[in-house]
Structure 1
C-alpha cells in the first residue's frame, strides 16, 4: 500500500453560521407538517452523512464570489424544495415528519490559507485528513436539523448556472412507500434486529474513536486480479459484486470473528426504475432504498475461495423486489422501527454512479466530489480518478487498528495472487 504523506499545515477562519431561507416565502405552506414514509423512517437512517467537494480555480469565473453564487443558488432552490428549509420532528411513536417552517439551511462561510494544488491524492480522497478543519459539524442528531438530498444538489447546480427552475421538479408523495393498510412481513430481513436493544447498539457502533479510517482503491488492475480468482461462469460478475465479496471476506478475516459466528453483508439497492415496478413519480426525493442481507458462518466465508462470497453477494442483490420493499415498510410498522444489526454485519452502498463528481456550480467539475468517507460499519463506494488519470472506485472503511493491519494484508494477498 502507498504510504500517506505528512499533512499540510494550514489555518481556517470561520464566520458565524447563518440560515439561508427560500428566496420566496411559502407563507401558506410553511406550517404544513409532512410525514416521511415508513422507508424514510427507519432507525438505521437516523444519522448524517457528510459530503465534500474540491474545485479548482476557473479563470472564466474571475470576479465571481463562490460564496455568493452558492448562497443565491441555495436560496432559489429552496423555493422548490421548501421542506428542506424546515425541521424534522418526532410525532406519535417517534414517527418522523417535516415541519415546513422555512427556517432555512445552515450555511457557514470559511477561508483557509491553502491552495488545492498543495494537496495530493491522499488529502483529497476520502477520508480526507482535514475533514475536521474543512467541514463544520453541529449536533449529530437529525431532529430539528436541516435536511439534504442529492437531487437537491443537482437542482442547486442548475440554479447556480442561471436556470429558472429545476429540470426535474421535486415530488413529495411519501405515502407511496408507507406500510400497507394490513401490514404483513412476507420476506426474510436478515439485516434487522429481533430484540429491543438495536438503537443503543447502533449508536455505539457509530462511535469512531477507537477505529482507523482508510480508503482502498480498486482500479482495472485490482478488478482483473479478483476476476482471476473466479471460475469461468462467474468471471462476468459486476465490479460491485467483486469488490463487495472481496472486502467482506477480508474484513471478516481481519476482525478475527469466532468461526461459528454468523456474519452478514447488506447491499444497498435502489428501488427506483422499471425493474421494481414501484410507480414512483420522477422527481421523488425520498428514500427508496433497502439493504437486503445474506448470512454465512465466518469460517465458511474465510476458508472458501472468493466465488463463495461472490455467489452470496449476488443472492443479496437478487432479493430486492417490489414485495421486498413493501415487506420492509410493513416490518418498520409491525416491529416498531428495528435498527440494523451491527455485530458481524457490513453494509455497502455503491455511490459511484450517482454523479457527485459531475456537480458544477460554475467552476467546472470537482477534482473530487462525494461522500467524505465511511460511516461506522457502512462503506460507500465512490468513483475516483487518480492524478495520473486512472479511474476506479474507492472503498472507505473503519476498523480497529490491529484489524486494519490484518485487512490490508488480506487484501494485498487477494489482489496480488491469482487463484486459478
Structure 2
C-alpha cells in the first residue's frame, strides 16, 4: 500500500507511475476522498470536544443556579447526542472507502524499470548456457511423461477435474528430488532459513502481501473462511506482520517448499495440455525482509540464488527485466527467469523475483528500528521462486530427453534419486 501522505505531496508522480503501468490517473479521486475523510474526522473531533466542554459548563451553570443557561446547554448536548453517532458512522464509512481505494493501487515502478505495455516490451538482462545440441526430435513434457507411463492426466481429471496431474514412480521421485535439491541449496549455501508454515491463512495475511482485496477471484477459499496459499510468499512474508525488528538483525531470509493453489481464473484456454499451468503445484519460495538501504542489492542477490538452481541443473535460460505494464501488483521491479523448453521451442517463466519496497510492510504494519536514530520505518520485502518445481521438472524432462524416450537424471539430482540414473519406460 502506498503512503497517503506521499500521494498528497506527489499527485503527479502517482499518476505518472500509474500511466507507466497502463492504469488510469487516480490522484484526484484519492485526494478528494482523503480531504472528505479529514474534514469528517475534524468535525467529529469538534463535536466530541464540544460535548465534553458543554458537560462541564452544565455543571458550572447548575452550581451557579443559572437554570436558563443550563437548559440551553442541555439542549445543545441533546442535539450533539443525536448527530454525533451519524457523523462518526459517516467518518468510518469514508475512512473504509479510502483504505479500500488505497489497497487497490499498484506499487510504484523503480526508475530503471523499462516502460512498456506487456511481455513483448520486457528486456533481456542476460542469457545463460546453450540450447541442447542433440539431433533427435524434441517432445513436449506430456508426450514424454505419458510415453514413459508415469504422468497421468485422465486419472487426475477423474479425481479433481482439469489442471491437475498424477505423477508416479520415477517421475514422482524426480519431482521430490528437485524440491529437496532446491531447499538444500538455498539453506546450505545461500543462507536462507527453512520454514514449515501453514497452507491456509486468514484474510489479514492475504491482505498483507496484496492478494486481497483485488485478486480474490484467483484464490481458493475454504468453507470456514480461510484461504489456500497461492504461494508461500504469503506465509513467509507475514511472519513479521505487526512486529518491530532491530535493523541489525536484517536481512531475514526465509525459504519453504510448499504446494501452491491458484484458480487460474484468467487463463481459460491457455496451456490446457500438460502441467505447465495447474491449480496445485509445488514451489520453493524465497522471501527476504530488509531495510530500505539494502533491498535493491538483495534483489540482485535473490535473483542470482534462483538462477543458481538452473545453472546446477545445466539448463539454458534467460533473465528478463519486466516492463512496467507486465509487473505484478506489489512489485517495484521484477526479474523473470525463463527456462528453455525444447518441446515448445520457446522460453517459459520458471521464476519471478520481485522487490516490493515498503509496499507490503505498510500493509502488514511490519517495521524496523533504525540502528542510528532509533526511528521506526516500514520493512522492505522481496519474494521469488527458487524455483517452481513442476516447471523445473518439465524443463529437465525436455532438456534431458534421450532418443529412446528415456530421461537422463542430471548429476546434481543423483544423490536424491536412490540410485536411479535414467528414467525409463515402465515395464
* TM superposition score category, shorter chain reference: under 0.3
TM-score (norm 2): 0.24
Higher helix proportion, which one? 2
Q: Which structure is richer in relative contact order (CA contacts within 8 A, separation 6 or more)?
A: 1
